Structures are given as C-alpha cells and as structure tokens.
Amino acid sequence: MSVIASFVLGIGVAIAFVAKYLSSHVSSSELLLVELGAIIIMAAIFALFARLIKQPPILAYVIAGFIIGPAAFALVKDIEIIKSFSEIGIAFLLFIAGLEISFKKLKQVNIKKIILITTLQVFLVFFITLLLVKYIKLDLRQGVYISTALAFGSTMVVVKLLSDKGELVTMHGRIVLGILLLQDLFAILAVVLLTSEKLSIMVLAFALLKLVSMVLIAYLLQRFLFRIIFKNATESPHSKELLLLSSLAVLFAFVMIAISLELSIAIGAFIAGVSLANLPFRVELESRVGPLRDFFSILFFVALGMQITLGGLDNEFPLFLFLIVGAFILKPLITFLLLRTSGYRQRTAFVSSLALAQLSEFSIIVGVLGFDLGILSQSILSMIILTTIITMSLTVFFVDYEDKFYRVFKWPLSLLRFIPVNENLGYRDKEKKTVLLIGCDRMGSIILRELIKENKGEVLVLDYNPEVIAKLREKRISCIYGDVKSPDLLENLNLAELKKVVSTVPDLDDGLVLLEKLHKYNKNIQIILTAKNISDALELYDHGADYVMIPRFTAGEVVNSIMRKDKESLENIKANQIARIKSANSILK
C-alpha cells in the first residue's frame, strides 16, 4: 500500500513540474485549458491517494489546490477565473443540500423535539463560543463569524458516511439527519444576516423580508408550475436532457433572483433545491445534476486550497486549538446533554453527538464571506479551512469506530443514568424466549413468518430500524431495538435460555461478535448467520457457525433447481411463491 501511495504521489509531483513548464510556454488562449487540466489531474491523483489511506476526497482536493496554488508550485496564474468556477460549485453544493430538505425525511423523526434540540444546540454553541473568543484576541465581529462557523455540522460528509454504513435508518441516523437538515436552514438564515451591512433592526427586518419573499416565490412556483414542468419533462422521450436542463434553469433562475435582491447566491441555490425537494422526481434530479455538482465542487475545494497561505498561520495557533476544542468537545457535549435530557438513550445520544463533531462546508462559506467583507484576515480564513478539513477527516474515524469510542466513555457517561429514558421502542411479553431473530426486514420477514407459525411467544426480534420495531409492536411480536455490536445489549438478554439464533445481517464483523458472545454464555445454542460472500461464510464456519446463508449463492441453487421444472410445475411454484411473499410482506405492513 505504501509503495502504491508513493508511486501516486510521485506521478503528481511529475505532472506538477510538466504543468509548470507548459504554463510559461503556451499562448494565453491555451493557458486556461492547461490550468484546468492541471487542477483536474492533480485533484484526481490526490483523491486516489486519499482513497488508499481511507480519507475523504475533500481533503485531497484542498491539498491539490494548496500544491498548485501560490504557496507551492503556483501553477495557476489567473486564480480569479477559478474562483468564479468555485462560486458555481457553491451554488451546486447548496442546491443539492436543498434537495435533501424533504418533509418526508423530517417526519421520520420526532420533528418537534428535534427542532427544539437543534435550535438550542446552535444558539448555545454560538453564544458560548462568542463569550470565549476574547481569550484568543479576536474582536466581536470576528467572533461572530468564528462562532457561526463552529455552530454547524457537515451534512455532506456525515450523511455520506452514515449511508455507506447503512445507519441512516437507525434511530441515531434519523436524529443526526434531522439535526443536520435543520442546521442547514439555520445556516442559510445566518448567511442572510452576515451579508447585511449593518445589524440594525430595520436592516435585519428588510433582509428577512427579502428571504421570505424568495421562499414565497419558490412555494408558489413549486405548487403551480414546477410539478407540471417536471412531469412533462419525465414523460418526454428526451427526459434525461430535459430534467437536467429544467433543474439547471430553476437553479440559475433563483441565483439571479438572489443577486437582484442583493442576497448571497448560496441562498438562491439553496432555496432552488428546497423548491424541488418534495417533487416526486427528486431522486432523478439529483442523479442528473450530480456529475455537474461534483465537477464544480472539486473546483470550489481546489480554489479553497489555493487560498491557504502559510504566512501568519503560526500566529493563529490559538484559533486552531479553539476550533478543535469547540468541534470535538464543546459541540458534542452540548448535543449529548440536549439529547440525553430529551429522553434518548445513552448510546443513541452519544453516537449522534459524535457524528456531529466537525466543522461544515458552511463554515468555509462563512469564512470566505468574512474574508470578502474584510472582517477576517487571510490567515484566519486559512486556519478555518484547515480546521474544517481536519475535523471532516477525523469524522470518518468517529463514525467507523463509534462503538469503541462509546466503550471508552461509557463510565463517565453513566453518571447521567439518573436521567429517565423515553425512547419508547420495543415490546416484550412475559413468555420465555428461545429463538432470537436478528434483522427482520426483507429476508428476515420471511423467516419470521415461519417462526411465529411454530410458536409466536418464543420468538424475540432484534432490529435497528425504528420503523420495523414499530410495526412489530403493533402486531404484539416481542422485539427490541438495537445493534449486535452495541455494548451490553446481548448480555442484557437471557442468552442461556436461547436455543436458536438466526441473523440476516450480512456483516462479517457482526457475525464474529455474535459468535463470540453467544458461545461465551451458551455452548449448545444453534447459530445460523448470513454472509455477503463465500470467503466470509468460510470464516464464520471456522469460528463456530452452525449454518451460513449466502443469499446470492442460495438464489443460484434455487434457480438451478427451477430451471429443471416444466412449465406446469413452474406455475405451481410461482403461485406458492407469490402467496409466501404476500404473507411475509403482511407482517411488516
């Protein structure tokens, strides 16, 4: 791995020298092409390097910008053109962020509780930070920008990480998503206030009036025009092109409206996204706009890297420590206490607060805004960018190793166990449980159907999807909410009484943890697990699994047997399968 990484970096350095030579030997008409080429090639090389060391690509783009910027090789001479491209990148980033503000997603959490928690979290972080900035020798105006930059988490990074782990459907995933979406709304409001020339009541009222006007325009267009336009676009034989052009037209129309109202283009782009977020074509819109967003977003982060200067950074070291402590201690602590006092379980509150421990893309936008207005210096902006990238990068480890972090902090967190828990999840009757089913969605519902036929009272279901648990509660099927790797969860069950455990979770680590814990308490238990592939299945067998299901392998065997049937026999098999599917599906309806 180190050899490959060194080779990749070597190629990057070589290309940097080639681009440096070309930039001084080409005509002015070819210079932009050479500079854009250098940006894309260097960004690709460093993104590959970041992938090898398991870091987010944003870090790679900023480093690439730093290397080709004036602080290093100075490959790009006309930085203003790149900044113009990066502004389009901001517009696309916030357009996609707006598309995520779906009312359906917000309804998946206790919206009233999450609104209260998010509001308190944002304002507490802001005002506590504002009170403390005087100790790092910043004036009040600079403190407002630093406090605002610290108040928000990164929707782009956190949602991607939780989605990759399949945790957006969990309780803490839904809480984090709800908080981040509402934080985005607060961030846009903050941008409106920060772009106001004077923070007088009249100026603020006028700025808010302009914002409300844009929102009203967006609502009316979405209600009476956009649905018709996009419905016709999807029904056209050229639907791909029309969807792309229509969504871009909406984006740039709102950007132009924002400019005419003397608002930030970020606000116009965000409202454009929100206006399309609740259309039935949102997923198609995201897929069409995605490649353009990625391209201009890369230019945005590369341009940020170009603005990093080493001069004066040593003087901003207190600011660096201040932002790190704020992101990793102050903000998670406030979020944890708010979630815990709202009745969420200790682990749910901790994992949720840990996922929000970073600065966000809005932090960079706020920093750039302060720099453009002459309030923040170049060195302060560079430090905000560096700290944002560092905290975003470490978020990868926070999310991946959330259970290990929880074990480390479990004892001090237990001091708050006197706070009552109101996470009303799960249902238990008084019957003795001999069968544990882990994972009840999809394949699990088919297995559950057969288990409850034999003896409903002996079955206990473990699942981390609150919706699945809620449906099982309605049907009075014993169930508990949680994850196999959650500390103490399995130990709190009476494992000695279990005769059979069936897990439909195809995660190797989950399977190994399950085998270790079950064999520790019950040597005679029958354990049936699920694996993604053959190598994982063999490893689970080596660790003592009684049987391992491999869905694709098993499906292939079933298809092979079906292929040998005649048409009449196949009709009977088909009818029986449809009946079983409907029966299994009815369990979770």
227 and 361 assigned to the same domain: yes
SS3 528: strand
72 and 97 assigned to the same domain: no
107 and 232 assigned to the same domain: yes
Structurally, the chain folds into a number of domains equal to 3
Please give the Cα distance from 329 to 345 (Å, whole number): 20
Please give the Cα distance from 362 to 189 (Å, whole number): 12
C-alpha to C-alpha distances, 539 to 510, 532, 545, nearest whole angstrom = 12, 12, 9
Confidence bin at 180 (pLDDT 50/70/90): confident
Residue 67 has pLDDT above 90, yes or no: no
Report residue 118 as tokens.
């998010």
Confidence bin at 6 (pLDDT 50/70/90): low
Please give the Cα distance from 537 to 551 (Å, whole number): 11
C-alpha to C-alpha distances, 353 to 151, 324, 344, nearest whole angstrom = 13, 15, 12
Question: Tokens 């560096």 identify what position?
Answer: 386
Please give the Cα distance from 227 to 243 (Å, whole number): 12
Domain-embedded: residue 361:
yes
Domain-embedded: residue 420:
no
Domain-embedded: residue 422:
no
Residue 363 has pLDDT above 80, yes or no: yes
Pairing mode of beta strands 459-463, 500-503: unpaired
- Non-local (6+) Cβ contacts of 421 within 8 A are 343, 344, 345, 346
407 and 455 assigned to the same domain: no
- Residues 20-43 have pLDDT tens digits of 555 666 666 676 777 777 788 888
- Residues 515-543 have pLDDT tens digits of 888 888 888 889 899 888 888 889 999 98
Residue 102 has pLDDT above 70, yes or no: no
From 77, 108, 143, give the residue that closes a domain.
77
Q: What is the mean pLDDT of the chain?
A: 79
117 and 22 assigned to the same domain: no
Q: Is the pTM of the predicted complex or chain greater than 0.85?
A: no
267 and 406 assigned to the same domain: yes
Domain-embedded: residue 419:
no
Domain-embedded: residue 421:
no
Which residues is 393 bridged to in the sheet?
Answer: none
103 and 70 assigned to the same domain: no
Please give the Cα distance from 276 to 234 (Å, whole number): 14
- Non-local (6+) Cβ contacts of 107 within 8 A are none
From 19, 49, 77, give the residue that closes a domain.
77
Q: What is the pLDDT of residue 123?
A: 93
Domain hosting 50: range is 1-77
| Half-sphere exposure (Cβ direction) of 309: Cα atoms closer than 13 Å | 10
355 and 306 assigned to the same domain: yes
Least confident of 71-80, 204-213, 247-256, 378-387: 71-80
Domain-embedded: residue 186:
yes
159 and 52 assigned to the same domain: no
Question: Tokens 């002459």 identify what position?
Answer: 374
Whichever domain contains 519, its CATH number is 3.40.50.720
Whichever domain contains 265, its CATH number is 1.20.1530.20
Taking each helix axis from N to C terminus, what angle separates 171-194 and 201-221, rounded to the nearest 10 degrees? 120
Domain-embedded: residue 569:
yes
Please give the Cα distance from 403 to 399 (Å, whole number): 9
Report residue 532 as tokens.
């993604």
Mean of the pLDDT values across residues 364-382?
Answer: 86
309 and 287 assigned to the same domain: yes
261 and 338 assigned to the same domain: yes
From 32, 55, 77, give the residue that closes a domain.
77
355 and 241 assigned to the same domain: yes
CA-wise closest residue to 261 among 203, 210, 197, 209: 210
- Residues 284-319 have pLDDT tens digits of 777 777 777 777 778 777 877 777 776 666 778 889
Q: CA 421, 424, 430, 433: dihedral to nearest 10 degrees?
A: -100
Domain-embedded: residue 424:
no
